[in-house]
Copies of this chain bind each other. A is one copy, B any other.
Amino acid sequence: MTREQLFAQIQQKRSFLCIGLDTDPAKIPAHLHSAADPVLEFNRQIIDATHDLCVAYKPNLAFYESLGPKGWETLAQTLDYIPEGLFTIADAKRGDIGNTSSMYAKAFFETLGCDAVTVAPYMGEDSVTPFLNFEGKWVIMLALTSNAGSLNFQMLELQNRELLFEKVIRTAQKWGSADQLMYVVGATQTTHLRKVRELAPDHFLLVPGIGAQGGDLEAVARFGMNRQCGLLVNASRSILYAGRGKDFAQQARAAAQQVQQQMAELLERHFSQA
């Protein structure tokens, strides 16, 4: 999917919502446990109920890997079920030396057919660039995450007074264009979003951390939006587990709709000013 296609979808749906398919077997409604594949059944109903309200789905690989080989079947079938035109992100946070990163890229872009994969920057250029060699595919690199541990290393100050996450973005800007590279910036990090936008004005940002993690959508939009929206804001638990009964999919839809409506207002405000 191209950046223009992604922006067109955002305009059409008036949404920049990404729904994280972090499906935990322990949290899905009891009545689904009799299904042949409860996680797949849950995902299908969530997708049916929400696909007109979001522009992307982001399955988190950990939840599928913890189920063993069967989990990968469930993941592959979930990805197959996502309607054409939605952006799919394998939230895998991979990164390894060159030839291994190429194998990961093959796993996510070719075997699973995802549009994007999240990668970790610690191993540097030759761990990231193999993911950038796939036409029409995207790399989403960790920059500033939403968790407490982001303080340990990402916020360290370097000799030139730059923070590590700033250096990570500034360096990666040379590796990939805004048509193939995005950054992860947590919604809890709005004070730093302005700096991220200085460093990467045109790149899309994947923003986790609203909903269960407490980030503020309005602040994210104020500091993070660019002329093509430039944001994919993710919510997982607050939508997936909005209800725990037989009506869980309707409850998920209601939760997604609430976010989408706020996004529609933020988009209107941003583009009427622009």
**Residues of chain A having any CB pair with chain B under 8 Å:** 22, 24, 60, 62-63, 65-73, 76, 91, 93-98, 100-101, 103-104, 106-107, 111-112, 120-128, 142, 145-154, 156-159, 161, 164, 167-168, 171
Interface-central residue, A70, A73, A96, A101, by most chain B CB under 10 Å: A96
Kindly report which residue of chain B lies nearest to residue A175, judged by CB atoms. Answer: B152
Interface-central residue, A100, A127, A148, by most chain B CB under 10 Å: A100
Q: Evaluate whether A156 and B167 lie within 8 angstroms (CB atoms) in the complex, with A104-B65, A111-B68 already known.
A: yes
Choice from B94, B128, B164 contacting A93 with Cβ under 8 Å: B94
Choice from B67, B95, B106, B112 contacting A111 with Cβ under 8 Å: B67
B62 touches A104 (CB 8 A): yes
Choice from B91, B121, B147 contacting A124 with Cβ under 8 Å: B147
Choice from B62, B107, B154, B156 contacting A96 with Cβ under 8 Å: B62
Kindly report which residue of chain B lies nearest to residue A60, judged by CB atoms. Answer: B100
A164 touches B156 (CB 8 A): yes
Since A69-B72, A69-B76, A97-B149 are in contact, a sample of 16 more A-B pairs with Cβ atoms closer than 8 Å, ordered by chain A residue number, is A24-B103, A62-B94, A62-B100, A63-B103, A66-B103, A66-B104, A72-B72, A98-B147, A120-B120, A121-B153, A124-B148, A153-B168, A156-B159, A156-B164, A159-B159, A159-B161
B66 touches A154 (CB 8 A): no
A123 touches B147 (CB 8 A): yes
A171 to chain B, nearest CB (A): 6
Kindly report which residue of chain B lies nearest to residue A103, judged by CB atoms. Answer: B62
Task: Please indicate the chain B residues that have their CB under 8 angstroms from the CB of A124 in the complex.
Answer: 145, 147-154
A97 touches B153 (CB 8 A): no
A127 touches B147 (CB 8 A): yes
B145 touches A60 (CB 8 A): no
Task: Please indicate the chain B residues that have their CB under 8 angstroms from the CB of A128 in the complex.
Answer: 149
Task: Please indicate the chain B residues that have their CB under 8 angstroms from the CB of A101 in the complex.
Answer: 62
Task: Please indicate the chain B residues that have their CB under 8 angstroms from the CB of A149 in the complex.
Answer: 97, 123-128
A12–B124 CA distance with the chains assembled, in angstroms: 38
A259 to chain B, nearest CB (A): 20
Kindly report which residue of chain B lies nearest to residue A126, judged by CB atoms. Answer: B149
Task: Please indicate the chain B residues that have their CB under 8 angstroms from the CB of A158 in the complex.
Answer: 156-159
Task: Please indicate the chain B residues that have their CB under 8 angstroms from the CB of A167 in the complex.
Answer: 153, 156
Task: Please indicate the chain B residues that have their CB under 8 angstroms from the CB of A103 in the complex.
Answer: 24, 60, 62-63, 65-66
Task: Please indicate the chain B residues that have their CB under 8 angstroms from the CB of A127 in the complex.
Answer: 147, 149
